[in-house]
Amino acid sequence: MSKIQVMSEDLANKIAAGEVVERCMNVVKELVENAIDAKASLIKVELIDSGVKEIKVVDDGIGMDKDDSLLAFSRHATSKLKSLDDLFNINSLGFRGEALPSIASVSNVLLKTSDGQSGTIVSLEGGVIKEVQSCDLKRGTTITVSNLFYNTPVRLKYLRSLYTELANITDYLNKMALSYPNIKFILINNDKELLNTSGNGDLLKTILNIYGVVVASKMLYIENSNNDYKINGYISYPELTKSNRSSITLLINNRVVRNNEIIKTILEAFHTYIPKDRYPYVILNIEVDPFLVDVNVHPTKMEVKFSKLQTLLDLIFETISQRLSEKTLIPKAIKENVEDNYYSDIKNETYEVNDNLYNSSPSSFEPKKVQELTFDFDTFHEDTSESEDKDKEKESYQEDERIKDMYPIGLVHGTYIICENKNGMFIIDQHAAAERVNYEKYYHALSTHSKNTIDVLIPYKIELPSSEYLILEKNFAILDKLGFKYEEFGSNTIIIRSHPTWLPKYAPLEAIKKIIDIIVTNEDFDEDKFNEKVSITLACKMSIKAGDVITLPDMTYLIEELRKTKNPFTCPHGRPTIIAYTKYDLEKLFKRAM
């Protein structure tokens, strides 16, 4: 007797369900995508116990006649692919013909549908048709899925908590609503409405429906294109971030997808605008010829492959970087008192209040003093003895008109510079501002391979462990490229005879040691990443610190230098440099304006 047998249709459907239907969200996803393909303008999802007991999806699409309603539950039956060529030009969300039979095989399904000419009700249990009857002619389709995984108890056992299942469904429907702002989406769980979009085609209004007014008011529209791709959507101001990637929605021809390369590129464009491990709000729709993208990679259709990925990544990076560089990104100190998802990240945080804050004498706040009651101007000032190229470079700087002239009037806690102009009051974090100035100074010097060097009176002797010295010896070319003059001196030791002029004048040896540390702790050398890391490290360690007292002329010079930077709004770590109180904000605080 032959050992190889053809699977029964019921068994094949259950196996397919293991790939297509893993949890309640997958059922909602497949049914909603079918409704969208059916040209629905209203999609209503009703759940009982997060969909574990029942999922009902109602749409006003084109519906089906009796023959199609029966054929829809046959495996690999689809209206969206007619030939092999169609597989390379997919414009619909569904196309495999596996979803409905897979769902039906592990649940009880009731289908009610009408194309306006005939109405049909089909009842199925475990994938088997139990009853077919006629119904009213109201156009559209209603599919009710109950007792999910009742005949596959192992799968039922591994469903997550009701809250997690509901969170996954809500997140998916939010993204679909952002993908199709022209469709009205309604989500109800146990008679409680969780989502209700306008469906008027306004993406910003949909963002408001989902994320709330604070997020919607802090979004920037982006749009750009090249020969292969067209992108459009919204990105948030850098002050608006979340602790996870759920705030980033990627759409390919209005299909919700996941792509780590695109997310990485978005974060690179936001680099130094937002802190590490924070994520901006992004809704990015990518329009592309279906021939250049493959959505037939995974049964869930959430992963895609691109024919010209780097072209797309370059377009995204350029567009976001340019948009951020155009805007004034000074956050307002006073936030609107609006409860929405944006604040969900901080609602559970606790803060310790120092009782001494309100009882201490002014002397308890006296900041530490630096040795000469001012910071070393070499931190910011260029060496006037350098070449004419440096003078031309200085002339090329333009003060950033996004930051208007402001005048320092004092220092609080030896950390925060208080400034004013006709628009209001500004608070500047002196360390963050100095970091930004120094970071761009160092990065420019490293990127342009400045060869201006200075000899040291007494050579610096640097000794390393043998393991680190071997790595440094392998990468002596990096020191050569930076402009260092050095010699090997005995075992595991080098002496530095000259170094680049852009190193901080007051602590060159410490800066050299940090550069060497970066070289020996990074095995794979990438010039851009190396320049970035050196610039950030030196800027952080060599800038004035919180608590250092600086004079008014020093404050003025720091503000002038900050205005010359490409991004004066954040330090290299993404923390804000400036916070604004508008004149109106101050009048509200003091009840002059109500």
Tens-digit pLDDT profile for residues 19-31? 457 788 889 998 9
pLDDT at 283 exceeding the cut of 90: yes
* 83-141 pLDDT, tens digit each: 444 444 445 564 445 778 888 888 899 999 998 888 899 998 887 888 889 888 889 99
The token pair at 330 is: 């000074």
Q: Which residue has the tokens 């990076």?
A: 317
In sequence order, which residues have a C-beta less than 8 Å from that of residue 49 and are 6 or more positions away?
162, 190
- Return the pLDDT at 178: 93
Mean pLDDT confidence for 446-458: 84
pLDDT at 246 exceeding the cut of 80: yes
Please tell me the distance from the alpha carbon of residue 282 to that of residue 32, in angstroms, as a whole number. Answer: 23
Q: Which of the two residues, 302 and 187, has the higher pLDDT score?
A: 187
- Return the exposure string of 22-31: e unless at least 16 CB atoms fall within 10 Å of the residue's CB, then b: ebbbbbbbbb
- Please name the helix (run of DSSP H) or strand (run of DSSP E) that holds residue 268, with its range, or none: helix 260-269
- Return the pLDDT at 345: 39
Are 252 and 304 a contacting pair, CB within 8 Å?
yes
Confidence band of 373 (pLDDT split at 50, 70, 90): very low
Please tell me the distance from the alpha carbon of residue 57 to that of residue 144, in angstroms, as a whole number. Answer: 7
CATH class for the region spanning 203-329: alpha beta
Mean pLDDT confidence for 189-213: 92
Judged by average pLDDT, the poorest of 4-8, 253-257, 514-518 is 4-8
Please tell me the distance from the alpha carbon of residue 143 to that of residue 120, in angstroms, as a whole number. Answer: 12
- Return the pLDDT at 191: 92
* 472-483 pLDDT, tens digit each: 888 888 888 888
List the chain domain ranges: 9-196, 203-329, 363-594
Which of 332, 370, 56, 323 has the alpha carbon at shortest distance from 214? 332
Judged by average pLDDT, the poorest of 10-24, 128-142, 323-337 is 10-24
404-410 own/partner pairs: CB under 8 Å, 24+ apart: 406/559, 407/556, 408/552, 408/555, 408/556, 408/559
Q: Which of the two residues, 327 and 82, has the higher pLDDT score?
A: 327
Q: Which of the two residues, 350 and 160, has the higher pLDDT score?
A: 160
- Return the pLDDT at 296: 54
- Residue 362: phi and psi, rounded to 5, are -55, -30
- Return the pLDDT at 392: 44
**Measured between alpha carbons, how far is residue 586 from residues 408, 417, 420, 470 in Å?**
18, 17, 12, 60
Percent of the chain with pLDDT over 70: 78
Confidence band of 174 (pLDDT split at 50, 70, 90): very high
- Return the pLDDT at 185: 95
Tell me the pLDDT of the chain averaged across its residues: 79
- Sign (positive or negative) of CA dihedral 516, 518, 520, 526: negative
Are 57 and 109 a contacting pair, CB within 8 Å?
no
Number of neighbouring beta carbons within 10 Å of residue 324:
20
Please tell me the distance from the alpha carbon of residue 47 to that of residue 61, in angstroms, as a whole number. Answer: 20
Instruction: Note the Cα 587 to chain centre separation in Å.
Output: 35
Mean pLDDT confidence for 224-247: 91
- Return the pLDDT at 357: 30
Mean pLDDT confidence for 181-197: 94
Please tell me the distance from the alpha carbon of residue 249 to that of residue 540, in angstroms, as a whole number. Answer: 33
Query: Which strand ranges, in their side-by-side order, compose the sheet holding 229-236?
Result: 219-225, 229-236, 282-288, 248-252, 255-257
* 518-562 pLDDT, tens digit each: 888 876 677 888 888 888 888 887 788 888 888 899 999 999 999
The interaxial angle of helices 430-447 and 552-563, nearest 10 deg, is 50
The token pair at 235 is: 């990105």
pTM of the model: 0.70
pLDDT at 371 exceeding the cut of 90: no
In sequence order, which residues have a C-beta less than 8 Å from that of residue 374 and are 6 or more positions away?
549, 550, 551, 554
- Return the pLDDT at 60: 93
- Return the pLDDT at 429: 93
- Return the pLDDT at 344: 40
Q: Are strands 42-48 and 184-189 parallel, antiparallel or unpaired?
A: parallel
- Return the pLDDT at 55: 94
In sequence order, which residues have a C-beta less than 8 Å from that of residue 16 and are 6 or more positions away?
75, 98, 101, 102, 105
What is the CATH number that goes with domain 363-594?
3.30.1540.20
Mean pLDDT confidence for 567-576: 90
Pick the CATH number of 9-196 from 3.30.360.10, 3.30.565.10, 3.40.50.2000, 3.30.420.270: 3.30.565.10
Q: Which of the two residues, 456 and 21, has the higher pLDDT score?
A: 456
Q: Which of the two residues, 193 and 348, has the higher pLDDT score?
A: 193
* 386-426 pLDDT, tens digit each: 444 444 444 444 555 677 888 899 999 889 999 998 888 99
Q: Which of the two residues, 511 and 353, has the higher pLDDT score?
A: 511
The token pair at 574 is: 């993404």
- Return the pLDDT at 11: 52
- Return the pLDDT at 300: 53
Q: Which of the two residues, 293 and 269, has the higher pLDDT score?
A: 269
